[in-house]
Amino acid sequence: MKLREILTGVPEVKLNAIPSPIDISAADLAPFNTTDSRNIFAGNLAATRAQAMSVPAISRARSIICSTIASLPMEQRIKSTGERVEAPRVINQPDPRVPGSAVWAWISEDILFYGYGYLQQTDSYAEDGRCRAGQRIAPTRVSIVTNAEGTEITGYRVDGMTVPNFGNGSLKVFYGLDEGLLNRAGRTILSAVELEKAALLYAKEPVPMMVLKSNGTALPADRVTKLLDAWRVARSTRATAFLNADVELTSLGFDPEKLQLNSARQYIALECARAVGIPAYFLGADVNTLTYTNAVSERKSLIDFSLRNIMTSIEERLSQSDFVASNTVIRFNFDDFLRGSALERAQIYEILNRIGVMSVDEIRQDEDLIR
């Protein structure tokens, strides 16, 4: 271990790529997609991550989607037979310094928010140069280098520093299936942020804006300040006010009920659910009550409508030749996530055992009953 690693606790990224017999040089250099939904409306309406996470509906959606993906184990299978083989550690724990779930939660968020996720290779196997370990790099730290026409990506920079195109120090790019939530739904996110600001304003000042008007002589500035301070202190202790004939109270603006602030926030929460692509009832944005039928299938709906696009991006990227052998693929395992109740499993096992598909020992193994 080198002195830098001892002092910082961070492994050194070796930028000298190990020669590799497999073709990995073109794995992350691709045509540059110039399609940008921010130009649909006039001006740049892309939101930031901080703005998106300040909206409760989006924060909740991010937590459900990314945490669920991060909790699912991945396995390596042989393409021709479907047989499971032991996956290299980089698949379920890319960075040896942190739990794998933390890495995949953040990469899933990057794909969801930005349309891209980046894993920087920090170590490789000596025999073939495949990725052995990596660290997540935030998309905001990455910039691209293109050809003269701006149609092909020719390289990447991290924090302004050029990184290799393959080998240690290179970026493994996880391409999303769209331009990212912050770009395509920036207007919706910014509208939600403004509604949250309005809610905060009315939480601080729960009544319409008030004006105290003097009906007598003009008061000096110090008297006006004292009057307003006295009014504020009095309103914090009692709701009833008394005014003499020299002062008149006038209200300006509307209260939250007249502004329909609650209805607007409910509507924008529903729009956020649509933008993220998650069933609204997961965010409490759907006023319809769940029935028993769709309650038991909600996890399947979550996979189909919210997780599948991000998981496909991760699976297909990890199945490329710079991670695993070309005759194998990486797939998420849903067995535990879609596991039914004990009664349902018992009924299925009884049928499978009766028709000779599963033995008693195989059932016991599936239920972790073999010690």
CB atoms within 10 A of CB 132: 18
pLDDT band at 226 (very low <50, low <70, confident <90, very high): confident
pLDDT at residue 138 in the model? 95
What's domain 209-252's architecture?
A: 2-Layer Sandwich (3.30)
What single DSSP character describes residue 304? I
Range(s) for CATH 3.30.1120 in the chain?
209-252
Distance CA 321, CA 323 (A): 5
b vs e for 311-324, b when ≥16 Cβ sit within 10 Å of the residue's Cβ? Answer: bebbeebbbbebbb
Q: What's residue 86's pLDDT?
A: 92
pLDDT for the residue numbered 282: 83
Least confident of 8-12, 98-102, 320-324: 8-12
Convert the pLDDT of each residue in 148-182 to its tens digit.
888 888 999 999 999 998 889 999 999 998 889 99
Which position has the higher pLDDT, 219 or 55? 55
Q: 310: which residues sit within 8 A by CB, 6+ positions away?
A: 65, 69, 108, 111, 112, 176
Query: What's residue 259's pLDDT?
Result: 52
Highest mean pLDDT among 39-53, 133-147, 334-348: 133-147
Residues in the chain, total: 371
User: How high is the pLDDT of residue 141?
Assistant: 94
The whole-number pLDDT of residue 315 equals 95
CB-hemisphere CA count at 13 Å for 306? 29
Give residue for tokens 């403004």. 194
Backbone angles phi, psi at 248, to 5 degrees: -125, 135
90: confidence class by pLDDT, cuts 50, 70, 90: very high
pTM above 0.85, yes or no: no
| Residue 80 C-beta-side C-alpha neighbours within 13 Å | 3
Read off the pLDDT of each residue in 181-209 and give the average, rounded to a whole number.
79
For 100-141, the pLDDT digits (tens) are 999 999 999 999 999 999 999 999 998 888 999 999 999 999
pLDDT at 123: 94
Sheet containing 116-124: order of strands? 131-137, 116-124, 171-175
Return the bridge partners of 182, or none. none
Q: Is the pLDDT of residue 38 over 70?
A: no
pLDDT at 341 (0 to 100): 66
Do 251 and 206 form a contact (C-beta atoms < 8 A)?
no
Residue 290 has pLDDT above 90, yes or no: no
User: What does pLDDT average to over the chain?
Assistant: 79
